[in-house]
Structures are given as C-alpha cells and as structure tokens.
Amino acid sequence: MKNLGKVVFFMLLLPYSIFAGVTASVNSKSVELGDMVTLTLDIAGDNAVRPNLNSLCGADIVSSNTSTSIQGLNGVYKKSILLSYKFLPQKSCEIEAIEIEIDGKNEKTEPIHIEVKPMDKAKDSDFVLSLESDKNEVFVGEPFEMTLLFKQKRNIEAVDSKFTPPNLKGFWVKNESKPTRYDDGQYIISKVIYTLAAQKEGMVKIANAQMSIASRANQRDSWGSWIPTIHWKSYFSNEIDMHVKALPEGVHLIGDLNISATVDKNEINANEAVNLSVQVQGSGNLEDIKSFKPYIEKVSVFEEKIVLETSKLSQKMAFVADENFVIPSFELKFFDPQTKEIKTVATKEIPIRVKNAKPTSELTIKRDEKEVSSQIQTDMISQNGVQIYWIILGFIVGLACGIGIALLKPWQFIMKNRGNSLKEPRTLLIKLMPYKGDAEVQNLIEILEKNIYQKENIKIDKKVLKEILKRYAIN
C-alpha cells in the first residue's frame, strides 16, 4: 500500500513517448482575402526538435506562440506541445507536409489545402483601400500620377493599423504628397498622390497596397466564457497594369521643357571669372539630364553639381580666360507626349569680352621697300650726329640705375609679391591649368576646384606643390 501512491504518480507522469507523433490543423480551411489563418502543430513526445518556419503558403509568418497541453483519457495522460503560427495567405494554396524530429524519429504532418476567396466587393465594407492612375499607357520616363485612397466608415473605430505601401519596383518616385483627409458623408477618406515615372518598357505592374486593421472582438475561452480580444484583418487594394512604351530612337528626355542661361557679366579682366547659371524648367524626366559643362579652347571651365527640384533643374559654372571667348549654346532635345513630336530648345551664344586681352598674333606692318631704304639712309645720317651724345647719356643713366638697384633691392619686393600671388587659390589654379596633363598637377587642380567652388577645406601638400612649381618654373 505504501507504494500505491508512487505507482499512481508514476502513471500520471508516464512518458508519453508511446504517443509520439505530430498533427497539424488550421482554424479555417476557407477564408476571405485579408483574413488571418492560424496553423497549430500538436507535438507529442519527450524530445522534439522544433521546426524552423519563416513562411507558410508563400506568406511570411506574422507571429508564433508556444503552449503546453495535458489531456487525460481513462486514466491515461497525454502531454503535448502546441506550436501555433499566424500567416496571411493572399491566394489559395497548400500547406506542405512539415517534418519534425521526435525522440530520434522523423514524423510528418499531412498537407492542408487553404482556399482564399476574393473579398466581397458588393457588400458595404467598413474599410476600403484602392489605387487609381491618371494614365494606363505611358512612355519611359513620362511622369504620371497614382492616387492611393483609404476609406473608413465614420462610425467604425480601429484599435491599431499597419500600412504596407505598394511595391513600386520598376518606377521612379518623383514625388509623394502629404496625406490629406476629408469626409464624404459616409466615409472618412485619406488620400496620398504619388508622381511616378516608368524605368523600362513593357507591361509593368504596380502591386497592391495593404492596410491591416486591428478591431475589438470577442471569443470564448477554454471554460466557455466570452473574453474581449483584438482581431486583425487586412485590406488589399487593386493592382495597376501599366503599358510602358519606348521613346523614339536618339531621344532620352520626355516632357515639356524650357532652358535658359544667364551670366553675371559680359566683360571681365584677364583671368577673372564669369559666373553662369543654366536652368531647365517644366515637366519631364529632369533627373536624366547630364552636366552642361562645355569644352572651350584656352578657357578653364569649373562646374558645380546639378541641383534638382520637383520641376526645376539648375547648374552653375565659372569660366576663366585671358582672351575673348564665346560661351556656346546649350541644347536639349526631348519627346513631347502631347504632340508626339521631338522638340529642341536651346540658349543663345554668349560672347565674353576680356579687357587687356593678350593679342592673338604679333603686330606686323608692311612698308614699301624704296621707302624703307630711304628711311634707313636718313636714320644713318641722323645717328652719326647724335651717336656720341647718346653713348654718354646711356652711360650716365645706366650708372644711376645700378646705384638705385643696389640701394633699394627691388627683387625682394618682387619675390614677396610673387609668393603672395601664388597663395591666392584662384591665381594658383589658373597658373596650374596649362600643366593638367601631369597627374600630380591634375590632383592639385581637383583639390583647388573643390575648395573654391564647393566650399570644401582640403589641405594641399606643400612639399608636392613646391616641387611642381619648381618643375614648371611657375612663379
């Protein structure tokens, strides 16, 4: 009798390996799109290796839970581990057999088919999510607007919500408006407008958006009592199919564009900078416009990065030269989707006058040979009379200059001024430009350009600079 208690206790804790196995079940095999499905794995056994599940039916697992259950039947007790997984199927599918190792043996569940029915559009839904596009046929790069609408009945409350935006792979998002809300009497409507442009030709799909709504609900507990809970349901928008056409050959811009170019001055001193601003305005794929920097012989051109706003593009440049030059015309060629024509817009050339410009060639004057011969004879006669005078005067002037140089030491002043001029970044940049074929010189030029025009503060290796100045006799 003393051992009876031990026997009963032993029977209660009888290893349940004899019941080893696994079964799978779902809360519903037929659901409406947006409803959550819960898969439960009932595992019996001493040692079970839990499966590593990340998705079911092609949908990510939203949440998981673990619990333990002990059941008794005719004095026999069975202990089970319950693993539950919640997921959101978007189409009819099959949960494949799941293999689990229990007490050293591999056990498998039976496959489960899930039917996902489309959401009933006819019924008066509490929540509605939809996508609308102002165009269904566009060219590559052509902007169009897509509107996202979320409707919520005025008398329906949501405890929580989670929004998943549409997958816009294959499109440039040029702009996204701030959400606006208004009331149409039956629904409170939230509205967001996206400005998009397709990146490639063909049939391109805009995937649906998703809004998950948590609302209050009731369910029975294990004792049969009703308890308040939170119920999640997802609402999906429609998808949009876009037919994207290729642009005409030789054209990569589309829209309606205008271009302008202005300078801060048309006349400068030698080696002074002229500042230019190029602006492009209008609708279109402005992001595909490249730098306008031109090549002008004997002119140094410095560019800043392109600045792009919603419907405006601008770029600034500086031109430095020691002789007159012309800033060339800037041109844009684009396809107008309204008229179905290729159009070209361009700026006018801008001539720049450089004061004290270097002459392009030495001045030469041709004279008649007889006149030249006669002039030489006259000059020789005159020179004989004054030759001695000029020799004496030249000696006196030379002596005076020599004494003055020795006393004033002007070379010190010249060397000082030279050193100061090279310390001015713009002057140093101009003097280095003729030697930019040298890799070390090109590196210095890039540093100077960033410091001058991009307001950076990059230090220059003084040793390298000194060697370059000496190498090319720059002073």
The average pLDDT across 142-160 equals 90
- Whether 138 and 240 map to the same domain: the answer is yes
CA distance 229 to 216: 6
Does any domain span residue 393? no
Confidence of residue 230 (pLDDT cuts 50, 70, 90): confident
The average pLDDT across 29-43 equals 87
Confidence of residue 372 (pLDDT cuts 50, 70, 90): very low
pLDDT on residue 191: 95
- Whether 148 and 212 map to the same domain: the answer is yes
The average pLDDT across 54-82 equals 78
- In which domain, by residue range, is 422 found? 409-471
Pick the last residue of a domain from 58, 89, 117.
117
- Whether 345 and 320 map to the same domain: the answer is yes
CATH number of the domain residue 218 falls in: 2.60.40.10
pLDDT on residue 461: 87
CATH number of the domain residue 63 falls in: 2.60.40
- Whether 191 and 113 map to the same domain: the answer is no
- Whether 177 and 93 map to the same domain: the answer is no
The DSSP code for 213 is E
Pick the last residue of a domain from 83, 117, 151.
117
pLDDT(60) > 80: yes
The average pLDDT across 291-297 equals 94
Does any domain span residue 363? no
- Whether 23 and 108 map to the same domain: the answer is yes
The DSSP code for 138 is E
Mean pLDDT value across the chain:
81
pLDDT(218) > 80: no
CB atoms within 10 A of CB 298: 11
Q: Which of the pair, 343 or 385, is modelled with greater confidence? A: 343
Pick the last residue of a domain from 203, 222, 245.
245
pLDDT on residue 328: 96
CA distance 118 to 149: 20
The average pLDDT across 319-327 equals 94
Domains in the chain, number: 4
The average pLDDT across 324-342 equals 94
- Whether 205 and 280 map to the same domain: the answer is no
The answer to which of 160-174, 239-253, 386-400 has the lowest mean pLDDT is: 386-400
Name the phi and psi angles at 394, rounded to 5: -65, -40
pLDDT(91) > 60: yes
- Whether 228 and 302 map to the same domain: the answer is no
- Whether 93 and 16 map to the same domain: the answer is yes
Does any domain span residue 261? yes
The DSSP code for 254 is B
pLDDT on residue 367: 47
Q: Which of the pair, 474 or 408, is modelled with greater confidence? A: 474
CA distance 433 to 442: 8
B/e letters for 360-381, b = 16+ CB within 10 Å, e = fewer, are eeeeeeeeeeeeeeeeeeeeee
pLDDT on residue 399: 63
pTM: 0.59
Containing 452, the helix (H) or strand (E) segment is: helix 439-453
